């Protein structure tokens, strides 16, 4: 993509720059220098050599301030001497007595007029300089061979040439940029790159929005069931090794278990405020945070999800104690009650990099699964999160690689989902291909910082 973008943008940039430059025209005149000599062959030869020597001096005269000032005075031009000198160019073919004068101007007629004026003033000045005696003929004279003409086309490189140069420059720049990015970009973009980094199995590769996404979620369900022996009342924690929560994967996994005839309860323990409660637009009071602070029965706090077989324990009103209470006996008690009633308890937690709640919760779970969002997660982030899990003694059984299409934003899905639920009811089916990315809010659970509900 970088190579394609550079290859397309460079020609456009060059053409845009060319179009922004003022249009100019050039008019030229060719002069011939002769010397006043005798008629013998030797005199003519010597005169020719002298004329060639004069030409080099006349080139400097053409660009002199004297000639420029004479032209300005003659035409009453609103230009300075320096401005006019920048428009005049003089040259000569080697070993000849020819002198070429070219003048550039913003108009075709102006270019011809200035060229004629420069030629006229040069001839006058040469006549004055080459006249030794007042009543004698000049020692040298300048004759016009090719008079100036009105140019019919503007100067500058052709569009075809500019496009060709732009394409070549863009291709070269794109290749260099792609090489630099490949050497410096540490983001994990493929499941193969993820497998090279992690020390646990990649349980599923979910391409959100693609036809095979549901099949990968079923594969994840089967592997989890096999890992936990297929027994009833199991607890599974889902967290993120990326910087962002992944509630849609939690919903998809819960739906997959429910489709298999299992009774599932999803606990929103994502203290960042971006868990399944916000994703699905569910609001419940009391929620998990209130249950942790009180002795309310967990069953009374459950919300009925629109998908049959799924219940949700919403997050509730998080405060600075919620993270600590996730490691308490009260949380273990809540899990025990829910395990006795449901086939599967799935816990959605905040990313391990932004909140410590996941480590506390994993100690109570039969299986811990981490989600890695490809394209937005670097290898140091994954390694750091895995190191945190290892130090905390968590039983991480594997990771799920998630790939999202970059054309839509997670935040748009959140806002749209919340509006629908407030106006009507819970979305009946979570469409995975409508979920991509969102901007995180600051994670709560730091001392003295209340959480956003």
pLDDT tens digit sequence for 255-270: 999 999 999 999 999 9
Q: For 228-285, what is the HEC assignment?
A: CCCCCCEEEEEEECCCCCCHHHHHHHHHHHHHCCCCEEEEEECCCCCCHHHHHCCCCC
Residue 45: strand, helix, or coil: helix
Q: Is the pLDDT of residue 281 over 60?
A: yes
**77/79 Cα distance (integer angstroms):** 5
The architecture (CATH level 2) of 25-146 comes to 2-Layer Sandwich (3.30)
- Angle at Cα 197 formed by Cα 376 and Cα 204, nearest 5°? 70
- Which of 108-117, 127-136, 288-297 comes out lowest in average pLDDT? 127-136
Query: Is residue 217 very low, low, confident or very high in pLDDT (cuts 50, 70, 90)?
Result: very high
Q: Is the pTM of this model over 0.85?
A: no
Query: Is residue 432 very low, low, confident or very high in pLDDT (cuts 50, 70, 90)?
Result: very low
**369/79 Cα distance (integer angstroms):** 77
Quick one: pLDDT at residue 420? Answer: 37
pLDDT tens by residue, 439-451: 334 344 533 343 3
**399/432 Cα distance (integer angstroms):** 18
Pair of tokens at residue 91: 């040259």
Query: Is residue 100 very low, low, confident or very high in pLDDT (cuts 50, 70, 90)?
Result: very high
Quick one: pLDDT at residue 45? Answer: 63
Pair of tokens at residue 177: 């940029």
Query: Is residue 141 very low, low, confident or very high in pLDDT (cuts 50, 70, 90)?
Result: confident
Query: Is residue 43 very low, low, confident or very high in pLDDT (cuts 50, 70, 90)?
Result: low
- Which of 28-37, 88-97, 128-137 comes out lowest in average pLDDT? 128-137
pLDDT tens by residue, 309-335: 999 999 999 988 898 999 999 999 999
| Mean pLDDT of the chain, nearest integer | 81
Quick one: pLDDT at residue 110? Answer: 92
What value does the mean pLDDT take over residues 102-122?
A: 93
More confident residue, 36 or 24: 24
SS3 of the chain: helix, strand, coil, percent, to 5: 45, 15, 35
What value does the mean pLDDT take over residues 294-298?
A: 93
Domain 191-434 -> CATH class: alpha beta
On the CB side of 374, how many CA atoms lie within 13 Å of its CA? 21
Query: Is residue 422 very low, low, confident or very high in pLDDT (cuts 50, 70, 90)?
Result: very low
Share of the chain above pLDDT 90, in %: 41
């Amino acid at each position: 993509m970088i190579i394609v973008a550079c290859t397309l943008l460079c020609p456009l940039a060059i053409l845009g720059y060319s179009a922004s430059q003022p249009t100019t025209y050039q008019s030229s005149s060719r002069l011939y220098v002769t010397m006043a000599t005798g008629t013998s062959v030797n005199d003519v030869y010597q005169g020719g050599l002298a004329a060639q020597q004069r030409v080099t001096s006349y080139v400097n005269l053409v660009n002199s301030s004297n000639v420029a000032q004479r032209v300005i005075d003659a035409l009453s031009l609103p230009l300075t001497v320096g401005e006019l000198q920048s428009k005049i160019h003089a040259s000569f073919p080697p070993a000849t007595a020819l002198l070429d004068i070219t003048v550039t101007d913003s108009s075709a007629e102006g270019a011809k007029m200035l060229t004629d004026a420069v030629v006229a003033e040069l001839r006058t000045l040469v006549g004055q300089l080459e006249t030794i005696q007042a009543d004698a003929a000049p020692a040298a004279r300048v004759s016009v061979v090719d008079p100036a003409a009105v140019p019919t086309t503007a100067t500058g490189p052709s569009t075809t040439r500019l496009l060709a140069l732009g394409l070549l420059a863009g291709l070269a720049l794109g290749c260099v940029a792609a090489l630099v990015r490949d050497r410096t970009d540490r983001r994990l973009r493929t499941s193969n790159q993820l497998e090279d980094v992690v020390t646990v199995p990649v349980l599923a590769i979910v391409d959100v929005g693609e036809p095979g996404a549901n099949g990968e979620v079923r594969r994840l369900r089967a592997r989890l069931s096999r890992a936990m022996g297929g027994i009833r009342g199991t607890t599974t924690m889902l967290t993120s090794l990326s910087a962002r929560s992944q509630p849609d994967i939690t919903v998809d996994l819960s739906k997959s278990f429910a489709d298999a005839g299992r009774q599932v309860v999803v606990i929103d323990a994502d203290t960042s405020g971006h868990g399944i409660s916000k994703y699905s637009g569910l609001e419940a009071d009391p929620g998990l945070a209130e249950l942790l602070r009180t002795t309310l029965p967990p069953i009374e706090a459950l919300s009925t999800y629109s998908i049959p077989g799924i219940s949700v324990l919403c997050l509730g009103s998080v405060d600075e104690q919620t993270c600590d209470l996730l490691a308490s006996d009260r949380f273990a008690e809540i899990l025990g009650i829910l395990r006795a009633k449901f086939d599967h308890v799935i816990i959605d937690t905040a990313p391990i990099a932004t909140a410590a709640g996941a480590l506390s919760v994993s100690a109570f779970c039969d299986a811990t699964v981490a989600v890695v969002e490809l394209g937005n997660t670097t290898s140091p982030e994954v390694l750091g999160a895995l190191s945190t899990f290892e130090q905390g003694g968590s039983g991480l059984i594997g990771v799920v690689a998630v790939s999202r299409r970059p054309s839509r934003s997670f935040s748009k899905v959140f806002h749209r989902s919340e509006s629908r639920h407030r106006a009507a009811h819970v979305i009946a089916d979570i469409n995975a291909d409508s979920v991509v990315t969102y901007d995180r809010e600051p994670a709560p659970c730091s001392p003295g910082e209340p959480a956003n509900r």
